[in-house]
Structure 1
Amino acid sequence: MLGVFDSGFGGLTVLRPIHETLPELSTIYLGDNARAPYGVRPQEEIYRFTLEGVRFLFAQNCQLVILACNTASAQALRRIQQEILPAEYPGRRLLGVIRPAAEYLATHGSHVGIFATPATVESNAYTHELEKLNPNVEVTQVACPGLTDLIEAGRQTGENCNQLVKHFADELFLESPKTEEVLLGCTHYPLVQTLFEKQVPRGVPVVSQGEIVAGALKDYLERHPTLKTQLDWSGQHQYFTTNGPDISKLASLFYGNEIQFQKTTL
């Protein structure tokens, strides 16, 4: 079983491409909506919440878990991989979304921009990865406080959201007018991708992470055939939230089709 964890709805924009790329792969999704967003929380709190989510998914017999949350990937992934997995979950795997996105950016232009949560920007996870992959790429990051909150509240079509996106886009291109490509470095942001596309200069691509991560997962499983055989390929899908099943309607906007959530606690 593949587990996918996010602080809220955003990971559904990664889960949908995974289902399209690997339709027979069974998945369990967990959104910690009750404590979203993570992007404005202290690092230690992000780590603790993320570890609770990972433990839940491992308890559901997930052999592989993806942190479909940039903030969790930036602030908790490495520590869980190094300190928790060897001692408590030998043989289990935990992956994030920053590495595959950085690999994509490393081959797409010499000037790239990244919109992300304050915690992701503060971690410099993207700049560190890109320095290792291609030190010639110039990276400009813009923190987007408040944007995830509006999206989680279902207010992504309002004027406040539009003005926020304009402000962040103006900030990026004022600082780095030579930016050639932009990454939405939060899995919530694809719901406002069209707003970003309207605010960046014409001809500058705006890229989200879903398809990138799905393709990277497929390649990863091909390189790890033993792990691939340990996963369930019956095409069954479950969705859990720490909030309540009433979020299913809003969550369906992120996924693109109707889905039903079960409530759980961490």
Structure 2
Amino acid sequence: MLKEVSIDTLNLVCKFTKDQKEEMYNLIDFQKDYGEKYAFYWNGNKVYKHIIHSVKPFFMIFFEPRVGTGLWTRSHYDMLILLQREAIEDIPTLLKQVLEIGDWRVKRVDIAFDWSISINEHFMWKNGNVKKETIKENQNYYLYGERNSSRAVLYDKKQQLKSKKNIVIQDRYLTRLEIRVRPKLKDQPSILNMEWLKKHFDKFIFVEDASRLSRSLTKDEDKKAFRALRRNSSMDWSKYGGDSVKRRIRDQAKKNAVNLYGLFSGNSNFPL
């Protein structure tokens, strides 16, 4: 069962006109006291001239890449904003004002789907040109292509909260599927329309209940191959009926798959 859908991380960039840059500097007063939750760094770092940092909710604004170390960055955008979930769901006033200036584009977005299921219950189809990389133990893994701008990450969220943050939740199970998208520079879309995400979601075939998929297979050889596939996603199909069996299982997986974009568009926390 789906528990919730959220945007966990969002990175935005913008290339300003001369007038927009002047408007931005008129908006931000680096000498003003905005309260203890904000830190302003007029001298920035090696890459950016100025930085604003908010700890809670977490976001960072990086102003104007420097000519030296930030030369490549400067040729493509003048400002970078990093946001995490709390700042996305309840955008601070200062951040709203910044986002009203210029045409902001998505550099990276991580969408989290949290399921109240054991990590053993799901099934994800792995295409032949996609790599599967295990993350330590407990069946956590990445799915990605070498040149793809999107990847899937699946892990035991309950265990991760306990081991990394010492947070204990009451849910019996919590399995997270994250779709992480980093559009190529020439394809970076506007934040005003998130429909472009559909093509990235459609790359992944995620079945919430693998047992239901198994029951939908009508041939014994397909069931046998599916059991082997769950043990080893890189198995030799020639030992289990070849391409015809592979095709039938994939077709059933697609029929039983979750509509990820539908869930995202109906449940996401994206307010912009």
Give TM-score scaled by structure 2 length. 0.25
Which structure: greater strand fraction?
2
Structure with more of its chain in helix, by fraction = 1
Larger RCO: 1 or 2 (CA < 8 Å, sep 6+)? 1
Report the TM-score when normalising by structure 1.
0.25
Q: In terms of Rg, which structure is larger?
A: 2
